[in-house]
Structure 1
Amino acid sequence: MNTIEFFGTTVKPFITKGKKMLKPLETGQIAERIFCIRDKDVNLFLIKTKEAYIAIDTGYKNSENVQRGLRELNIAPQEVRAVFLTHVDLDHAGGVDERCTDVFPNAHVYVGEEEEKYLKAVYFRKKLLCFNLKTPIQIGKPYTCLRDGEVTELDGISIETVYTPGHTLGHVCYILNREILFTGDCLLLNEEGGWSMYDLWNVDTPLNIASLFKLKELVFERHCKLIITSHTGFTMNVGAAFSRIDKVPQWKRKNFAFIKDAPDDLYR
């Protein structure tokens, strides 16, 4: 097993247990034409278009949770015609990993052009001592790279790519129809507002914070109405979503609990 994969599937559940660090949404509908599926600690999202569905991220590889969620939502995997990846960590891009069954076989994949460098081992996800640890994800079918600010029009839906490095060096967010923001892993939400992602998983936390300030300006310029994160739910209070973005939750602190009613164990 790849070292990064071991960390994500074995070490991360141990570290997060009892910390109430994350609280993904339960599988269901969260807004008009927008649905989510919970896969352990993360959400993937499905957007209904005129003719099909668009996915934001894919969950873990060979995930029974994703298959179960699609059945609950009465969505056939073949109906998903496009997948937009926020980044290529295993909990977000596992469903298109060439080592597993493609969760959305008819979908064309989109990824940020800078994030592609992880797929090509130009960038490495972590450094351990003197070893560069590469991402385990490999996309085995043709895909399209997206530039910062690029707008993709699909079946009546507009998706703007926003380059937000820090969690990974190629992380991107997506703005749907100039009003709904999918933040991926750059932003966390709790009762106090929006925060930077935990330093535990960031490549460069100061860079992530800088990206959040850029994102805040863009969101207010676009008059976005809904902010949707990958691990901590959503909010319609756009101001609160960016209220604490210069701060990082101190997860190592004794008796730390980021979200009071979050599950103690997300991986059971």
Structure 2
Amino acid sequence: MAKKDSLKQQKFMSFMFRGKEIFKPLNTGHIDERVSCIREYVANIYFYTKDGYTIMIDAGYNYDRLSEKMRWLDIRPESINEILITHQDTDHVGAIEVDGQGLFKNAKIYVGRVENDYLEGRVRRKVYWGLYKLPQVHIENDKTLIEDGEIFYIHDIKIEAFLVPGHTWGHLVYLIDDAYLFTGDTIWFGADGGYAFLNTLAEDRKLQSVSLKRLEEKLKKRNLSLKIITGHTGWTDDFEFAFRHVDEICNALKRKPKVQDPKAPYDGFDESDDTEEKARTVILEKC
């Protein structure tokens, strides 16, 4: 499913969202000395490196140029032994689906216990207000199932998982080393702050906002200095900006920016400005 679905998304979503400032992926490169990312069409996958050891956050599309862009970052696919999965949509797991290139066939994946119901076929993923069921995702990698609030370590990397249902029923966000929050498809950044993610792709739109408010409250109590990193719209270290509009959902069909975003590409699927030279030399700016 992944290969065909990736190609279908490239054509359909490019047409649907062109000029609407919906998808604003980071180019391939580095956020800082620990976090790097790869741009795959409108999605980003991330790598977190500490003391010479690298883990991966999400697995993107079934994308032909993944190994090429990993080379830009000097990361070898065979060095990736663990992949954190926020949720099972094909733009976040495509590289580990059974019809992929097999770059990470020996990697262990970490996925939420609730989200695993999709992978096991007990629940079908629904989009467009429940009107359309997506094909089941098939993954054969070894899995570790994660609970809400669970803290675990990969080498000396501390990872805490939070269940944030709404976009999918079992979506997790990952807090790494109390400094980096990888949000997947829970928060959408506009030029004027963060919103709940796209309405058309949510299992439960209202639940998205409830979940984000709950997450905001938990994080506020900890008074952490965070870099908040999204799956499709970049990153910020401004906590108030990130959660500014989470009681409102980004309308993917009618979106007209309240505040024009000069950084937003006309077509998020146009990767002409994503180059090896920039990946090696340019630090990726925050929103």
> Same fold, TM exceeding 0.5?
yes
Q: Distance in 2 between matches of 1:92 and 1:35?
A: 16
AA of the residue aligned to 1:262: A
Q: Deviations over 1:56-108 (max 9, x none)?
A: 001111x1332222010011111111000000101000011012122323421
Which residue of 1 is the match for residue 265 of structure 2? 263
- Alpha-carbon offset, residue 131 of structure 1: 7.8
Which residue of 1 is the match for residue 30 of structure 2? 29
Q: Distance in 1 between matches of 2:175 and 2:255?
A: 37
Q: 1:49 to 1:130 in 2, by over 3 A?
A: closer
Contact 1:59-1:95 within 8 A present in 2 as well: yes
Query: In the alignment, is residue 41 of structure 1 matched against residue 57 of structure 2?
Result: no
Q: Distance in 2 between matches of 1:35 and 1:230?
A: 13
- Structure 2 residue runs of 5 or longer lacking an equivalent are 271-287
Query: In the alignment, is residue 244 of structure 1 matched against residue 245 of structure 2?
Result: yes
Q: 1:128 to 1:39 in 2, by over 3 A?
A: closer
Please report the RMSD computed on the Cα atoms of aligned residues, expressed in angstroms. Answer: 2.3
AA of the residue aligned to 1:49: K
Identity %: 32
- Alpha-carbon offset, residue 252 of structure 1: 3.2
Which residue of 1 is the match for residue 276 of structure 2? none
Contact 1:121-1:134 within 8 A present in 2 as well: no
AA of the residue aligned to 1:177: D
Contact 2:47-2:55 within 8 A present in 1 as well: yes
Q: Distance in 1 between matches of 2:33 and 2:128?
A: 44
- Alpha-carbon offset, residue 123 of structure 1: 1.4
Contact 1:90-1:136 within 8 A present in 2 as well: no
Secondary structure of the residue aligned to 1:152 is strand
TM-score by length of 1: 0.91
AA of the residue aligned to 2:64: E
Taking the TM superposition and a 5 Å limit, the aligned residue runs for 1:210-225 are 210-222=210-222, 223-225=224-226
How many residues align structurally?
266
Higher relative contact order (CA 8 A, sep 6+): 2
Secondary structure of the residue aligned to 2:268 is coil
TM-score by length of 2: 0.85
- Structure 1 residue runs of 5 or longer lacking an equivalent are none
Secondary structure of the residue aligned to 2:44 is strand
Stretch of structure 1 that moved more, 233-242 or 42-51 = 42-51
Secondary structure of the residue aligned to 1:200 is helix
Q: Distance in 1 between matches of 2:266 and 2:127?
A: 29
Q: Distance in 1 between matches of 2:159 and 2:20?
A: 34
Q: 1:80 to 1:120 in 2, by over 3 A?
A: same
